[in-house]
Amino acid sequence: MMNTINEMWTSHRTQISFTIMTAILLFVGFNQSWVLALGIFNLSVISSIMALGVNIQWGYAGLFNVGIMGFAALGGLSVVLISQQPVTDAIEAGGFNMLIALMLGVITVVVGVVLHNKKFNKWVVFASIFLGFFAMRYFFADASSAIEKVNPAGTGYLGGLGLPVLLSWVVGGFAAAGVAWGVGKITLGLRSDYLAIATLGISEIIIYVIKNEDWLSRGVKNVTGLPRPVPYELELQKTPWFQDWAHYFDVGLGEFSTLFVKLCYAGIFVSILIGLIIMANLALDSPWGRKVRAIRDNEVSAAAMGKNITRQHLQIFVIGSAIVGLAGAMLVTYNGLLNPTSYQPLRFTFLIWVMVIVGGSGNNLGSVIGAFIIWFLWIQAGPMGLWIAEVISNFAGEQSSIALFIEDRVHHLRLVFMGAIMLMVMRFTPGGILPEKNKEL
Amino acid sequence: GSLQGYTGPLESLIGDIHDGTVLAASEANASGQYAHGTINVPEGDSKCIDADAAIAEAERLINDGVIGLVGPNCSGVTTAVINNVTAANGVVNISPSATSPALSTIEDNGFFFRTAPSDARQGQVLAAIAMGRGITSVAVTYTNNDYGKGLADAFVGSYEALGGTVTVNSGHEEGKADYSADVASLSAGGSSVLAVFGYADGGALSLTTASVDTGAFDSYIFADGMIGSGPALGGLDGLSGSWGTAPGGSTAAASWASVTAAAGITPGPYSGEAYDAMALIILASQASTDRGDIQAAMMAIGNAPGVSISAGQIGFGLHLLSEGIEIDYDGATGVEFNDVGEVKGSFLEYDVVGTAWSSIKTHR
Amino acid sequence: MITIKNLAKHFGGIRAVDGVDLHIERGSITGLVGPNGAGKTTLFNLIAGLYQPTAGEIILDGEDVTGLLSHQLFHKGVLRTFQIAHEFPTLSVLENLMMVPAGQLGESLINTWLKRKEIQEEEKELQKKAEEVIDFLSISHLKNERAGNLSGGQKKLIELARTMMVDAKVVLLDEVGAGVNRTLLRQIGDAILRLNEERGYTFCMIEHDMDFISRLCNPVVVLAEGQILTTGTPDEIKSSHAVIDAYLGQGIKTKESA
Amino acid sequence: MAYLEGNSLVAAYGPVPILHECSVSVEKGELAVIVGPNGAGKSTAMKVLLGMLNPSSGSVVFDGQDITHLSTQERISLGLAFVPQTNNVFTSMTVHENLEMGGFLRDDDISHTIQEVYDLFPILFEKRKQNAGELSGGQRQQVAFGRAMMTQPTVMLLDEPTAGVSPIVMDEIFSNILDLKNSGRAVLMVEQNAQQALNIADKGFVLVSGRNEHSGTGKELIADPEVRKKFLGG
Amino acid sequence: MVSESVDILNAFALLTNFIIVPAIAYGSQLALGALAVTLIYSIFRLSNFAQGDSMAFGTVMVILILALFQSDWANANFGAILPPYEFLSFVPTALYALPFAIGFTAIYLLVMDRLVYQHYRRIKAKAINMCMASMGVMFVTGGLVRIINGPERMTFDDGARFLFSVRDFKEFTGLTQGIAIKTSQFLTVTVAILLVAFLFYFLNKTKTGKSMRAYSDNEDLALLSGIDPAKVARTTWLIVAAFTAIAGTLYGLDKGFLPFQYHQLLLPIFASVIVGGIGSPMGAIVGAFVVSFSELLLTYAYKKFLIFLLPGYVPDSLVQLIGVEYKYAISFVILVVVLLIRPTGIFKGKVV
Ligand SMILES: Nc1ncnc2c1ncn2[C@@H]1O[C@H](COP(=O)(O)OP(=O)(O)OP(=O)(O)O)[C@@H](O)[C@H]1O
Ligand SMILES: Nc1ncnc2c1ncn2[C@@H]1O[C@H](COP(=O)(O)OP(=O)(O)OP(=O)(O)O)[C@@H](O)[C@H]1O
Ligand SMILES: [Mg+2]
Ligand SMILES: [Mg+2]
């Protein structure tokens, strides 16, 4: 009996695990609520995309990127910069100076690089950068304080370009890719853990910039009310055809509108996810994928076989980061707000890593299932902890000291819970739930 | 429902807030006056800084059938929850501790309330007191989130307008391992007074401790987040001459003190606000548990005219309501809403005497 | 073909290669022998671009290639094997070989989405070629095995097999024979001779098996302590006293017999 | 019953067995050599004898005691020593520390044995403070051999100890192996330098695809034309 | 003339008080945690994400033991030694509880090893899998810490707080700028020096230490040399437990105990380990100081210092290289720069 189950599992891992996950979500839908189930589903899909980006970097190329948070935040920032309406007052107050400052910044960098490449004395290079920096600083300080003074409680930043929000997702991907390119150029010579701490550092730097450069991102004061690619609940509730539908399905108007909006998002997210997975799988299952895996296996030997390791790593780093950036933009759009304080390594970097590993690194579908499981736990560990507390207090009596103690600490039980389940999943599926075929454990 | 940041950076403040909500609910239950049976308060964890988790939890609570939400605590996720969940679903959402000025103007469809006053007001009060005390130059450190930044903006704005100088104005991150760099650069500005806008057991405390240890400043100005129950900043000595403000000072405060004393708990920051938030939802749902009706009733119950109800009188209030008599809930903090559903709030000025807080004056 | 001038590589105080001048003739099979730690592998690593020399220069077909990286040297036609096998453990034996040829259409990411057809054709060709090589080394039963699961000797065969996947100007073989069964090694020797004669490959090989060296190589270069001790035909080398003392020895002696 | 023997061993890494009823044995004061094509299962047989891979059937007997179910560690403490074919030195430790680790289980003074190893391989003395990972291939083999000697085992198992070493060192290693055997220990060795090895061996096993194809004294095997042609390269 | 030299003294007193003393203390605190991380890494190839929370666990054990002897648990102040034992209070009381806390921490870590890590070692899992498992342990440990002791802040009543305070210093020297050194700072530095010396000696000179290195280098070969993996694991966790509990307690003495803050210690600790060169005890220490000094030196506003140093000159800005908001960002920039110059850390660490 055990054996047949085992065999079934080994031969049909993918089908079985996706079926189980669907069943769990359906269960949530029927027993708790469909809004919740869909909410979990949507976030899981976004996380899947992020995990996919990481999987491409780690699973394909062994690049240990612990800066996921930074790239996701760049995606988020792009949403603000592209799709928010411009704040005309602020632009009048400091937009011009800011433009000059930014241009000076760019010129300084370009001049620095050119001088360096032309092998000028390093002091000359240094002096020119120094001068450029102070010139920039001069305009910059004026501009930023002028911008931030414009209605600080309401705006206090430049706003965005007012373009369609879907465009901002693409831009988010490109922004992350651009930064990844620069970062990769500098740090990809580093190995494993050293690369990890470098990327971690860079992601922190990105977050600090977003948090502290108020003129750009409103800093910690958050940007809210971001535009959506789907209709607003409150407007839906007012349209007659929608009311008819709600009536037809016999669902409360509020709930139905929420469901509807979430379904629209789900449609967009899932199509993006499927598109990415198809592309990723095609690539992996080709000479390109073979080259990439060979490099991961043994760099010295791959170099001796004529493969340019650095270039390959850079390509993969950029692509993976772009996907993370895209997911970051999707997330911010979905939440309707950019909240820089919420970018915490635990949530945006390590949680995603756990998804990749639990799902099975190197396997794209693995990242998806990993994302679903871990996100589900992240959300449902709390209720599970509460439920356990309830069981205990039923068992030991409502007022017993142990029940009171647990009751008091129940919210910390979720941490224990989350950890324990994670450990269990990893323990019983070494190599992940859907391991890469032919993979070393 | 109660949606609080049980885990995450504010976890250590939540105990008091949680106590406040529980107190109000059990008081109502004990009175037996509630028209719809016993009140159950399902809990959700907003994690304070994880908007996605907070939204999911809010959705879960709402689908569990809560009639209103107390929480969340942190302004960022509060915004997320209002935008994505409560306004859309038409659920009253009343935060006991989100004080960001930005929340005043949020498009909430009228469903968002708060029992903590906006920081814009506290900034003005602090600035006025500081000038009144003859302090003409300060350094400012704020916890780098929308609460701290908003408060610092408000304070610096009014203080400079009154003619004061701010030598250094910088933020500090929560939960970091070491704050001596912050202290060093703050002290280098040359001013002898430091204004601390942060959390009493967060980074601000570490920062203040480090500052006191190195003798960087002579005295300190504290905002509400730093002023709690018990000895000032965990009994740190070397704070004498320092002062601060926190919401309070209403006539209602005495009733709250006796309620907490009776329940045997020590009130902490925002616990009164939490009590009021819960009480308001309970009272507003006495007539009908329809979520829309609750919203409609909130303003009437919170504001005059009506029989004044203070902390410990929830049962009485419920009774009056079921008799059809109008009430004006004042509760623990003297609740009075303005037209966007925020309390106007009054502030108490505290002095540090030895290692204890001593309240000296009310500012309205 | 390859001319090495005064090449040196120092690791801290250790002079692994210490001023070597060497000329590898086009179309020759040059043998490189010498005691353990003489610097043979280090010399290969320098020629193949894995290490950067401390001093000296390397000239390939009249072009200065000192300081180029290994992947660049591959494209210039320098191929090498590793003394300690460097297989790609998670790739199958077939894939280990198919990844070698440069400039494959399917190695470009965009093509993997747009030119599926052409890539498939190309793959067929490659696979055919790889299978021929595998057949020749009599490991065709292993073609779908993960290279990481191979035995020690089989891994060495993969090293050799990879060099047979492309047309190289010069192939550097670092002890392909160590750990390989002697009967098979004989066949490998035949293949090397054939590649050399029929396709004009240039070989340079490190080996400790003097029979193997004598059968294939001319000239033989003896390296000791980072410097060239002598150069000559195999017979000259075998009879040189200096070489016997430093490298070949006098045969087995035991305490009792001594 | 031989001093150390593996009887009808069947073993596998995955679903497919590598060893099929393979048997090898060695007596005290005897040198036995295993030869065979690449991938025949020689190293696998050694691993089974050492307990690094569990056989699905068959037994390992040492000094009259069935040790099939003992762990590697327990077998080592019984007096078995092994030089693996690959990964046989501690790369991040110095040569000297490598030798010290060889003598880990001994409580007596090991400096004397270390000196013996240095006398045998003078190059190691020169390199004693260098990390083993920085050594050349042949130097590593010498460290590996020296490490095993440090344990002063009663049975020495060697997997291709001479791969990659120069002729002069190969002679040293072989003569040392003869010394070991003459001092009453049992030596079981896998070799691809089969000619030389069988020349000095007391007995030999030819393994093909995990099966015993031939066995006999070293001289007999060398003399067998089929064995010569198929496995000894000439 | 006289006043000028006094001003120079003042300038340096200022620098010492605000930069050197805090940086050394903070650096030592990081170093202790970093030593544990680097040890675990070099033996098990495990980047232990649970380190911060394990330190919290060790500290909670100290708190529990102290609480056993005091009724005042709820009131958050520990360690006031009651008469007639007040003569013991020349060092913080927490130190008396420390040995027992180390014991409990060791038990906890060994249990976790048995339940979690042992399995991964047996199946020879890749380093990353173990690293993820440690993240699971991190969650569990963090949860346990909060369940046992709640998430609130606690401060130790740590005996004599100051070796000498700012006022003492000013009175003694007559300078206008004071220097304060806390007992806990002094303790931390001393202990850090002792422990790194111990670890260095242990790993490089003792047989057990060498066998641990051998095990981390090549597990199979270690087995073949007769090294007992179980014993290596045990010894490692014992040492780690000692380091962890000591590090946690000393940090708590200086800066108070707050679970969230301990959890956040992870990042600077890892940064220290890696900048120093992962796997190298010396590197852990040096890395920790690089991190702490870079935070302080680069964000310090030198205005006051310059006023003392160059009499008559009053800079009109703060003379600050970069705003203190960016101090963590800056310390990471330093890390990246160090790594670019020395890609495997200052002390040439391991690379997997
Ligand atoms: N990375 C390194 N660091 C320090 N010393 C090294 C390093 N690599 C090699 N050496 C030293 O350089 C010398 C030459 O090594 P090399 O590997 O070139 O020898 P070899 O001639 O190939 O020997 P073998 O026949 O044993 O393979 C040896 O003494 C070795 O210890
Ligand atoms: N870890 C492993 N997993 C799976 N298969 C393996 C593993 N190790 C070896 N094999 C297979 O077992 C067979 C025998 O391997 P073994 O190493 O015993 O050969 P060998 O006789 O020692 O060969 P060589 O002379 O080349 O060292 C080979 O075909 C190899 O592919
Ligand atoms: Mg070599
Ligand atoms: Mg073998």
Give bridge partners of residue B44 from the DSSP assignment: B3
d(CA D135, CA D141): 10
Exposed/middle/buried for C12, CB within 10 Å: 0-12, 13-18, 19+? exposed
Q: Is the CB of residue A358 less than 8 Å away from at least one CB of chain E?
A: yes
d(CA E276, CA C177): 42
- Dihedral over Cα of E184, E189, E190, E196: its sign: positive
Q: Annotate D7-50 with three-state secondary structure.
A: EEEEEECCCCEEEEEEEEEECCCCEEEEECCCCCCHHHHHHHHH
pLDDT (0 to 100) of residue B247: 77
pLDDT tens digits, D78-89: 999 999 988 899
**E88: pLDDT strictly greater than 60:** no
pLDDT (0 to 100) of residue B229: 63
d(CA A233, CA A215): 31
Within-domain flag for A340: yes
The reply to whether ligand 1 has any atom less than 6 angstroms from the CB of C84 is no
Interface with chain C: mutation pick from D166, D193, D213, highest number of C CBs within 10 Å: D166
pLDDT tens digits, A306-353: 999 999 999 999 999 999 999 999 999 998 889 898 898 888 888 899
Confidence bin at A252 (pLDDT 50/70/90): confident
pLDDT tens digits, C182-221: 888 888 888 889 889 888 889 999 999 888 999 999 899 9
pLDDT tens digits, B207-228: 998 898 888 899 999 988 887 6
Within-domain flag for A151: yes
d(CA A264, CA E189): 59
The residue ranges of every structural domain in chain E are 2-341
Q: Minimum mean pLDDT among B266-270, D33-37, E242-246: which range?
A: B266-270
Cβ–Cβ contacts within 10 Å for residue E230, how many?
Answer: 11
User: What are the DSSP calls for B123-177, one per residue?
Assistant: HHHHHHHHHHTT--EEEEEEESSHHHHHHHHHHHHHHHHTT-EEEEEEEE-TT-S
Interface with chain A: mutation pick from B109, B149, B156, B173, highest number of A CBs within 10 Å: B149
Comparing alpha-carbon positions, the chain A residue that sits nearest to C106 is A287
Within-domain flag for A429: yes
Q: Which of A288, A322, A325 is nearest to A307 (CA)?
A: A288
pLDDT (0 to 100) of residue E76: 41
d(CA E266, CA E51): 7
Mean pLDDT, range D52-71, rounded to an integer: 92
- Give how far Cα A368 sits from Cα of A278, A334, E107, Å: 13, 19, 37
Q: How far is CA B254 from the centre of its chain?
A: 18
Helix pair angle (A253-284, A364-396), 10° resolution: 140
pLDDT tens digits, A98-114: 888 889 989 988 888 88
**E158: pLDDT strictly greater than 80:** no
* Ligand 2 atom at minimal distance to the Cα of residue C154: 26
And the tokens for E27? Answer: 């650096």
pLDDT (0 to 100) of residue E113: 95
Last residue of a domain, one of A108, A138, A158: A158
And the tokens for B259? Answer: 């309620």
| Closest residue to atom 6 of ligand 2, CA basis | C149
d(CA B102, CA B106): 7
Residue B234 one-letter amino acid: G
Confidence bin at B198 (pLDDT 50/70/90): confident
pLDDT tens digits, B315-345: 888 898 888 888 888 888 888 888 888 887 7
Q: Are residues A114 and A46 in the same domain?
A: no
pLDDT tens digits, D3-43: 999 999 999 988 889 999 999 999 999 999 999 998 899 99
* Ligand 1 atom at minimal distance to the Cα of residue C36: 26
pLDDT (0 to 100) of residue E78: 47
pLDDT tens digits, A372-391: 999 998 888 877 777 877 78
Q: Minimum mean pLDDT among C5-14, C96-105, E79-88, E318-327: which range?
A: E79-88
Residues in chain D with CB shorter than 8 Å from the CB of C34 are 166
Q: Are residues A252 and A376 in the same domain?
A: yes
Domains of chain A: total: 2
Within-domain flag for A72: yes
The reply to whether ligand 2 has any atom less than 6 angstroms from the CB of C27 is no
User: What are the DSSP calls for D155-217, one per residue?
Assistant: EEEEESTTTT--HHHHHHHHHHHHHHHHTT-EEEEE-S-HHHHHHH-SEEEEEETTEEEEEE-
Element (H, E) at C6: strand C2-11
| Domain residue limits at A81 | 13-86+159-436
Do E128 and A420 count as a contact with CB atoms less than 8 A apart?
A: no
Distance D162 CA to ligand 4 centre (A): 12
Q: Minimum mean pLDDT among A254-268, C158-172, E92-106, E145-159: which range?
A: E145-159
| Closest residue to atom 7 of ligand 1, CA basis | D134
Within-domain flag for A350: yes
Which distant-in-sequence residues (6+ apart) come within 8 Å of D56 by Cβ? D10, D11, D12, D17
Within-domain flag for A431: yes
**D155: pLDDT strictly greater than 90:** yes
Do C162 and A440 count as a contact with CB atoms less than 8 A apart?
A: no
Q: Are residues A422 and A383 in the same domain?
A: yes
Q: Minimum mean pLDDT among B290-299, C245-254, D202-211, E316-325: which range?
A: E316-325
Do E323 and B170 count as a contact with CB atoms less than 8 A apart?
A: yes
User: What are the DSSP calls for B32-46, one per residue?
Assistant: T--TTS-----EEE-
The reply to whether ligand 1 has any atom less than 6 angstroms from the CB of D163 is no
pLDDT (0 to 100) of residue A382: 76
d(CA B1, CA B85): 14
Please report all neighbours of B, defined by 3+ CB atom pairs within 8 A: A, E
- Dihedral over Cα of C168, C173, C179, C185: its sign: positive
The strand ranges marked E within B253-339 are 307-310, 327-331
- Give how far Cα A13 sits from Cα of A16, A429, C91, Å: 5, 11, 22
> Closest to C183 (Cβ–Cβ): which among D40, D86, D233?
D233
d(CA A245, CA A255): 12
pLDDT (0 to 100) of residue C258: 39
Distance B227 CA to ligand 3 centre (A): 72
Q: How far is CA D81 from the centre of its chain?
A: 8
Q: Are residues A112 and A235 in the same domain?
A: no
> Closest to B234 (Cβ–Cβ): which among E155, E268, E304?
E155
In b/e form, how buried is each residue of A378-399, taking b as 16+ CB within 10 angstroms?
Answer: bbbbbbebbebbeebbeeeeee
Q: What is the mean pLDDT of chain E?
A: 83
pLDDT tens digits, A400-417: 677 777 777 777 887 888
d(CA B222, CA B122): 11
Within-domain flag for A207: yes
What are the structural domains, with CATH classification, of chain D?
1-79+155-163+175-234 (3.40.50.300), 82-152 (no CATH)
pLDDT (0 to 100) of residue A406: 72
Residues in chain D with CB shorter than 8 Å from the CB of E349 are none
User: What are the DSSP calls for E154-183, one per residue?
Assistant: BEE--SS-EEE-HHHHHHHH--SS---EEH
Q: Are residues A333 and A246 in the same domain?
A: yes
Domain of residue A293, CATH code: 1.10.3470
pLDDT (0 to 100) of residue E331: 72
Which distant-in-sequence residues (6+ apart) come within 8 Å of B67 by Cβ? B91, B92, B281, B285, B289, B291, B294
Helices (H), A188-232: 192-212, 214-217
> Closest to A291 (Cβ–Cβ): which among C70, C79, C99?
C99
pLDDT tens digits, C14-48: 899 999 999 999 999 999 999 998 999 999 999 99
d(CA B346, CA B364): 4
Chains D and B touch, using 3 or more CB pairs below 8 Å: no
Q: Are residues A177 and A41 in the same domain?
A: yes
Q: Which of helix, strand or coil describes residue B340?
A: coil
| Percentage of residues of chain B with pLDDT beyond 90 | 12
d(CA C244, CA C236): 11
- Give how far Cα C106 sits from Cα of A299, B14, C89, C102, E60, Å: 20, 58, 22, 11, 58
d(CA E13, CA D227): 87
Q: How far is CA C215 from the centre of its chain?
A: 17
Q: Minimum mean pLDDT among A115-129, A298-312, B158-172: which range?
A: A115-129
Element (H, E) at E121: helix E118-122
Exposed/middle/buried for E73, CB within 10 Å: 0-12, 13-18, 19+? middle
Exposed/middle/buried for B325, CB within 10 Å: 0-12, 13-18, 19+? exposed
C-alpha angle C57/C60/C64, rounded to 5°? Answer: 45
Last residue of a domain, one of A115, A137, A158: A158
The reply to whether ligand 1 has any atom less than 6 angstroms from the CB of D136 is yes
Closest-CA distance, C30 to chain A, in angstroms, reads: 21
What is the architecture of the domain spanning E2-341? Orthogonal Bundle (1.10)
**A15: pLDDT strictly greater than 90:** no
| Closest residue to atom 29 of ligand 1, CA basis | C37
Distance A62 CA to ligand 4 centre (A): 29
Best residue among D22, D42, D189, D211 to mutate for probing ligand 2's pocket (most ligand atoms within 8 Å of CB) is: D42
What ipTM score was computed for the predicted complex, to two decimals? Answer: 0.86
Q: Minimum mean pLDDT among A290-299, B304-313, C43-52: which range?
A: B304-313
d(CA E34, CA B162): 49
**B98: pLDDT strictly greater than 70:** yes
Q: A194 with E339: CB under 8 angstroms?
A: yes
Q: E323 with E299: CB under 8 angstroms?
A: yes
pTM over 0.90: no
Mean pLDDT, range A242-252, rounded to an integer: 83
Q: Is the CB of residue C185 less than 8 Å away from at least one CB of chain D?
A: yes
d(CA B188, CA B165): 15
Mean pLDDT, range A47-52, rounded to an integer: 96
d(CA C247, CA C251): 11
Q: Are residues A72 and A216 in the same domain?
A: yes
Q: Is the CB of residue D113 less than 8 Å away from at least one CB of chain E?
A: no
Task: Classify strands B356-363 and C2-11 as parallel, antiparallel or unpaired.
Answer: unpaired
Helix pair angle (A401-428, A351-359), 10° resolution: 50
Within-domain flag for A250: yes
pLDDT tens digits, E231-242: 999 999 999 999
Last residue of a domain, one of A122, A140, A158: A158
Cβ–Cβ contacts within 10 Å for residue C168, how many?
Answer: 20
DSSP E320: B
| Percentage of residues of chain C with pLDDT beyond 70 | 98
> Closest to E125 (Cβ–Cβ): which among A201, A414, A430?
A430
Confidence bin at E1 (pLDDT 50/70/90): very low
Confidence bin at C71 (pLDDT 50/70/90): very high
Q: Which of E284, E299, E300, E302 is nearest to E333 (CA)?
A: E299
